[in-house]
Every structure is written in structure tokens, then in C-alpha cells.
Amino acid sequence: MCQLSSHCDRPKSAFTAVDVLLTFLSITTFFSDIATDLVVVVHYALSELWLYSGLTLLFVVAPSLIVNLFSLRWHIHDNKNTTSVWIFNCLQLGFLYRYVLYLKSGFKAQRSKNAEDLQDLYQQQSDLCMLRLFDSFLESAPQLVLQLYIMVSLKDWNILTGVSAVVSLLSLGWGIAAYGKAMRLYRSDKKRLSWTGLLLQTFWRCGTMSSRVTAMVLFSLACGPWILLVLVGHWIAMTLWVVQQETDFCPSVWEERTYNAVVGVIYTFCFFNVKDGPSRHRVITFYAVIFVENLAFLLAYCHVAHWQAENVFASAAMILTSFL
């Protein structure tokens, strides 16, 4: 369903055993992320921490509904409006259905070596990675901020919350890197990203995300609910910026604006290129804003912490080294 540029015209490679392995790894990380979050929901409920249990559950259910709605709409747009599509997406298993379709298309393309089959395979991979990216930033990113905030504010360093946070971070890094790899398969003017490069990019993205999330958690500790006002303001500004770039990803205006709003959520955490052509100025502008925000978050925390040397140094080192 993804609307791709004119460069997207040449398949580059067949479906390999490594692709199969990475697909199962993607499935594992996706369901592990959901499973750990649900375990944490139960843990908070048993501890009578109803607010945290409810928020954790909200960040699981709401993103799932949004992503499966996108998935269903894309199936309909591609004239694949089958009973199976409706059943799996209504059961919130749209990802599982798409992964199965992707594997079937991969094996078919591997056997036929047909350019059209390969193109269909890469189209499915593109849609799948885009949906995974949406899920990562609608579910994993807010979940990561929430779990770290709970751990720090309650001084509750239990293994369940820690595992949930780590899995969410890995899911974020993997989602961004996998989408970048999928887009390169479409571009005849871009070199294919190796699996080693994919893993390195995943860890690099985890590092940059750690910086942003740490800054958010520190500001929430310093200013409490005011973090929500700041993030909503940032999201609105980023969404308007994306709209101003006149993206052309979806078939209808309302879907395009919904897509813009989701990209605005992504821009709350990291840069995501939505337009072909040179992006240097957009990248510089975005990360300049993020750096200023992170610095302001750090200063707010330092003020509340009364500039205690140990806390200030550790926090600043985490934010600056991860950002770089």
C-alpha cells in the first residue's frame, strides 16, 4: 500500500534463509514486547497500583487498535478484502497475518525468481515494516518512558519492569532499522543494507532513543504532569511540520492526516524522513530542537535535584553520550 517514489522500480535480491531467520526474530520481538507488557499489567494490578496498571494496559490496547485499523485499511485498498483479513485484524492479530503472508510470498519468489513476485514481496515487506514502525512508537516508546518513570519514582527495580523496558527499547531500535532496510530494497539508487549493518543501526538507534527517553523521564520526575503538556505541544508542532511537507502516502485526505499525526508521534522521539530528496536541513533542524529540549529537561531536573554532583553528572553523561 505504501506510496513509493519512481526510484522504487527494481528488485535487488531473492528471499534467503537469513530473511526467514530475521522474520522469525521480528515475530519473537513483537510478541515478547506485548507479553512482557501484559505481565507488568498483572504485576501492578496485584500490587494494587491501579493507575500504573491501567496506563500500561492503555499503551498496549490503543496502539494495537490503531495499527490494526491501518493494516485493515491497506488490505482493502490493495483489493485483499478477505474474510481472513477481517478476522485476524479484528482479533488484533494483523501483524501475525501479515508475517505469514510475507513468508509465503518470500518462498514463492524464491522458487519463481520472477521480478513481479519479488516486487510483491518487497511491497509486503515495506507495508509490514511501516506498520511495525507505527506500533513501535505508539506502543513501545510511551511504554518505555512510563516503565522507567515508574521504576525511578517508586524505586521499584524489579526484574519484570526492567525486562519490559529493555524489550521496548530493542523493539524501537529494530523497528526503525528494519524499515530503513526495507526502503533500500526498493531504491535502485541505494545500496542494500547488510544484516550486520541492520544490527549495528539497531543498537545505534537504541542509543539515541535512550538519550531522549532519559531526558523525558528526568523532566517528568522534576515537573510531574507538565511533561504531558510539553510532549503534546511538541507533537502538535511536529505534526504541523509534517503536514507542511505535503506528504503523499495515503489514498485519502483523512488517512493522510492520520498518518501525519502518527509521524508526529515518531518525531517526539527521533527523526523519520517522509519525503524524497535531500533531508540534511530537516535532520539538522529536528535534532537541534531535540537537543535544546533535552538540555532544558536536564536543567529542570538538576534544579529540582539541587545540583547534586553525582546525579547531575550521571544524568548529563547518559543524555549526551547516548545522543551522540
| Higher per-residue pLDDT: 22 or 276 | 22
> Under a CB-based contact definition with an 8 Å cutoff, are residues 9 and 188 in contact?
yes
| SS3 labels along 57-107 | HHHHHHHHHHHHHHHHHHHHHCCCCCHHHHHHHHCCCHHHHHHHHHHHHHH
- How crowded is residue 271: how many other Cβ atoms within 10 Å of its Cβ? 17
Gap between the Cα atoms of 106 and 290, Å rounded: 39
- What confidence tier does 165 reach under pLDDT thresholds 50, 70, 90? confident
Q: Which residues pair with 187 in a beta bridge?
A: 8
The per-residue pLDDT for range 198-252, each reduced to its tens digit, is 788 888 888 878 888 888 888 888 888 788 889 899 999 999 998 888 877 767 7
The per-residue pLDDT for range 80-90, each reduced to its tens digit, is 878 888 999 99
By C-alpha distance, which of 30, 8, 18 is closest to 94? 30
Gap between the Cα atoms of 179 and 173, Å rounded: 10
By C-alpha distance, which of 82, 98, 97 is closest to 1? 98
- Helices and strands (H, E) in the chain, number of each type: 12, 0
Our CA angle for 222, 232, 153, nearest 5°, is 30
- What confidence tier does 79 reach under pLDDT thresholds 50, 70, 90? confident
> Under a CB-based contact definition with an 8 Å cutoff, are residues 230 and 217 in contact?
no
pTM of the model: 0.77
Distance of CA 280 to the CA centre of its chain: 22
Give 231's Cβ-side CA count (13 Å radius): 20
The per-residue pLDDT for range 276-298, each reduced to its tens digit, is 666 778 888 888 888 888 888 88
